[in-house]
Amino acid sequence: MSKLTPVNKLPGVFLVVGFLILASLLWFTPTHANEPAQQTEEYCLSCHSNPDLATTLPSGETLSLYISPEQLKDSVHSPNGIECEACHTNITTYPHPSIEYQNVRELSRSYYAACQKCHPDNYSKTLDSMHAQVAEAGNLDAPICTDCHGSHYVHPPDQSRTLIPSTCGNCHTEEFSVYQSSVHGNALEQDSNPDVPVCTTCHGVHNIQDPRTQQFRVDEPDLCASCHANQEMMSKYGLSADVYSLYSLSWHGVDVSVYDARWPTIQHNSAICTDCHGIHDILKPDDPNSSVNPNNLLVTCQKCHPGVGPNWTGAWTGHYEVSLERTPFLYYVDWFYSIFTPMILWICGIYVALQLIRLIVDRARRSLR
Amino acid sequence: MSQPKPTPSSSPNRVSLLRTFPRFSVSQRWEHVILLACIAILLLTGLPQKYSSSVWSQTIISTPERLATIQLIHHISALVLTGLVLYHLGKACYLIARRKLPGDMLLTLQDIKDAWNMLLYLIYIKKQKPAFGKYNFEQKVTYWFLFFSIGIMIISGYVLWFPETITRILPGGIIPAAIMAHSTEAIATTIFIVIWHFYHVHIERLNLSIFSGWLNDEDMRTHHSLEYNQLVRKSRTNKDSGDIKS
């Protein structure tokens, strides 16, 4: 009897275990239904950690299939449980389904759509960008998410900030090299200065717009002012924070503000910051190569005012308070009118008021008589 | 002041002779009309440019094309005004050369005395207004204020119109100074015309002699008694004088 007991008990054990499994499925499946099972990384890496793993695409390009486990651990996604399958949704089995992409670019352009699942806001922002427009026009080299952020080894975008210009510089090589030698780029590279603008500070991040439009042009002084009108930041570098407010009062600044407020899309060429200071190549004004160095200023003015003489630069008051030393004519005219205009107002007002009183009183007396 | 006015209505049975005294020549009257039109147009086209951030200015200057039109009108009336000033100065030079310039408009010591006495009259210290000649000190102030004001406006205006040429000869600091002078002087002039001139020719009495060219007997006796006495004396000694029309 005792020998038969386990045999007799076996169906019961199966029943209990089967019930428990069924129950656990009923219990746990609904709560975890939305999260894909993220147990794939270790399994995938068992092959893909081989540095020699590669395949050849129909275009003849060699596609490396190697994933560095160390770098993957460093990225933002893997430690948070977002593993291979989150993006490689079409690969669920081994052997994998055959690759249909003709070349590497086609592969990247189809895979980056996976970013949208978790980052819908930034993804849709990029659809408004200059880059998306270029892609629509047929340029498949236009950047997609992974071109800037990386695909497998994604790091937080502000780590480090110094890398941002070089990322943009992968395509915009000329702008990058010019920027590197500018006062801003130099401070970023030499001192890792956190205040200087990087590409994205001025151009935006995901919805980067065409900087050659008139709208961008008339908005540009405000863009510079977001740092250069900041008293606290400018005092760190011994710069004046009044350059923008004084510019706004100048001939150019008034003109630009009128166009900005009323006709932002109508072509107009009144000078904005970058017309004189440069764009990516901004240098300190005391740098001998700076376009606003006193020695180069006349040539800079002549870009818009061809043929003006050397006295012309003296007419520029856009960044300076009225002072006797710098602008004596303006100083005296300012001084004269600060007295003259109120004086005229008061003299005329008082004299006419006295006359009016006398006139009314005399007429009243006459009519009463 | 307390005498009843000898108007036709007060004595309906008497036929009164309305004597008129010539005051401004046809040329002077036209000069004033052109000056008035020029200043009005220059202000109407200039002020919207100065106050470009205000709503009323944005209504007037609604498109860049309108701004260009307004500037064109401003420039054309500036040219007309310049022509007028040159004519006025040329005529004055011609008259000086022929020793025929009437000195009525020149400021004299008497004007300062008149102004002082007028002030005393206005604050009830003196009982009588000072007696005036052809142009009283108020009218002389009007003329000379506008004379220099228009001078400043014209000079600074041309500096702004041709800054690139001007700075070939003069220092660059002239340009911002001219911008400020042009803009501020315009306001001072507007204040002066509206308060001072409009009061004297519209409110104190409606004086349209600059348009009609003549003043009547009453106004001459009240406001230009010295000139009146002089003219009447002259007409008594010379009955054939053409100065007095009937």
> What is the identity of the amino acid at A233?
M
Residue A333 to chain B, least CA–CA distance (Å): 6
Token digits for B242? 């053409």
The pLDDT assigned to A23 comes to 61
Backbone angles phi, psi at A305, to 5 degrees: -115, 75
The pLDDT assigned to A160 comes to 78
The pLDDT assigned to A111 comes to 86
The pLDDT assigned to A9 comes to 67
- Mutation target vs B (from A214, A262, A345; most B CBs, 10 A cutoff): A262
> Any idea where the domains of chain B sit in the sequence?
20-231
Q: Report whether pLDDT(B159) > 70.
A: yes
Instruction: State the pLDDT confidence band at B142, using cuts at 50, 70 and 90.
Output: very high
* Chain-centroid distance, C-alpha A285: 25
Averaged pLDDT for residues B156-177: 94
CB A246 within 8 A of CB A320: yes
Q: Report whether pLDDT(B160) > 80.
A: yes
The 3-state DSSP class for residue A280 equals coil
Q: How large a percentage of chain B has pLDDT more than 70?
A: 90
Cα separation, B78 vs B83, whole angstroms: 9
CB A129 within 8 A of CB A165: no
* Neighbouring residues of A62: CB distance < 8 A, sequence distance ≥ 6: A54, A55, A56
The pLDDT assigned to A47 comes to 87
What is the H or E stretch that residue B215 is in? Answer: strand B214-216
Average pLDDT per consecutive 10 residues, chain A (369 residues; last block may be shorter): 53 70 55 52 87 88 89 87 84 82 88 89 92 92 90 84 91 94 92 91 91 92 95 94 92 90 89 94 94 94 93 89 88 95 95 94 90
Is B179 touching A (CB cutoff 8 A)? Answer: yes
Pairing of strands B20-22, A54-56: unpaired
Cα separation, A71 vs A51, whole angstroms: 13
The pLDDT assigned to B84 comes to 97
Averaged pLDDT for residues B186-210: 93
Chain A CB contacts of B121 below 8 Å: 358
Q: Report whether pLDDT(B6) > 70.
A: no
Which one, of A40, A146, A144, lies nearest residue A96 by Cα?
A40
pLDDT per residue as tens digits for the range B54-77: 889 988 998 999 999 999 999 999
Give just the sign of the alpha carbon dihedral B23, B25, B26, B27.
negative
Q: What is the mean pLDDT of chain B?
A: 88
Residue B124's region, left for phi above 0, alpha for psi from -120 to 50, else beta, is left
Q: DSSP class of residue B162?
A: S
Per-range mean pLDDT, top range of B2-16, B69-83, B93-107: B69-83
CB B227 within 8 A of CB B220: yes
Q: What is the pTM (predicted TM-score) of this model?
A: 0.79
Cα separation, B164 vs B51, whole angstroms: 25
Give just the sign of the alpha carbon dihedral A310, A314, A319, A325.
positive
CB A275 within 8 A of CB A292: no
Is B8 touching A (CB cutoff 8 A)? Answer: no
Indicate the CATH number of B20-231 among 2.60.40.10, 3.90.1150.10, 1.20.950.20, 2.60.40.2470: 1.20.950.20
